[in-house]
């Protein structure tokens, strides 16, 4: 007896008949993405349509006086270019100095976007969120299981159960669950 795997596009639900028709798409940022990058599969034609409809943008971090974290802004590249009135934006960028790394005093618990928690820190590890738990979050939950659950309970959030197969899989807790069984 054999086994056959059938694949469908995560975008359209269409059947993907051949491997060469398959495209892997990694979503790095999206307003509804709560954690790190996620991966979906789609038809190659769907992926090419995304490329065709891609926007020409500039991604900027705005460091404003009195604010500890930068604001991430995505702006149309032409609109950004129109703001450069002294000289063409291409010349401006070539002459600009390389960006400095963030200040050492910046909070490590904030995400690079500055608007979402970093689940890879002890402060936020184990909190319910959409998206996949990162290896950093999984390691923190495994190494500080009781401490994480105490914090979650104190915050009125669901705790992580070693009896819940979804929790065990999400945080890689199989060994811990076996040890405590």
**Residue 27: predicted pLDDT:** 87
pLDDT of 172 strictly over 90: yes
| Mean pLDDT value across residues 144-172 | 92
What Cα–Cα distance (Å) separates residue 101 from each residue in 93, 98, 105, 106? 18, 9, 11, 10
Is 0.75 surpassed by the pTM of this model?
A: no
Stretch among 22-26, 53-57, 106-110 having the lowest mean pLDDT: 106-110
Chain position carrying tokens 């069984």: 181
Q: What pLDDT does residue 109 have?
A: 42
Collapsed DSSP state (helix, strand, coil) of residue 15? strand
Phi-psi region of 115 (alpha: psi -120 to 50; beta: other; left: phi over 0): alpha
What are the domain boundaries of the chain?
7-52, 57-95, 135-180
Q: What is the pLDDT of residues 48-80, one digit of tens each?
A: 999 888 999 998 989 888 888 888 889 999 999
In the predicted model, is pLDDT for residue 112 greater than 60?
no
């Amino acid at each position: 007896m054999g086994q056959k795997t059938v694949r469908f596009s995560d975008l359209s639900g269409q059947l993907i008949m051949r491997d060469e028709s398959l495209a892997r798409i990694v979503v790095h940022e999206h307003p509804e993405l709560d954690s790190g990058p996620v991966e979906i599969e789609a038809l190659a034609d769907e992926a090419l349509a995304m490329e065709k409809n891609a926007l020409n943008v500039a991604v900027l971090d705005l460091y404003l006086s009195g604010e500890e974290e930068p604001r991430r802004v995505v702006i149309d590249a032409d609109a950004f270019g129109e703001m450069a009135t002294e000289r063409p934006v291409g010349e401006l960028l070539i002459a600009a100095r390389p960006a400095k790394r963030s200040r050492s005093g910046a909070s490590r618990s904030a995400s690079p976007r500055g608007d979402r928690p970093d689940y890879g820190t002890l402060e936020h590890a184990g909190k319910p969120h959409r998206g996949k738990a990162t290896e950093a979050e999984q390691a923190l939950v495994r190494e500080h299981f009781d401490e994480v659950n105490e914090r979650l309970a104190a915050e009125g959030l669901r705790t992580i159960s070693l009896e819940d197969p979804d929790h065990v899989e999400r945080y890689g807790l199989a060994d811990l669950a076996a040890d405590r069984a």
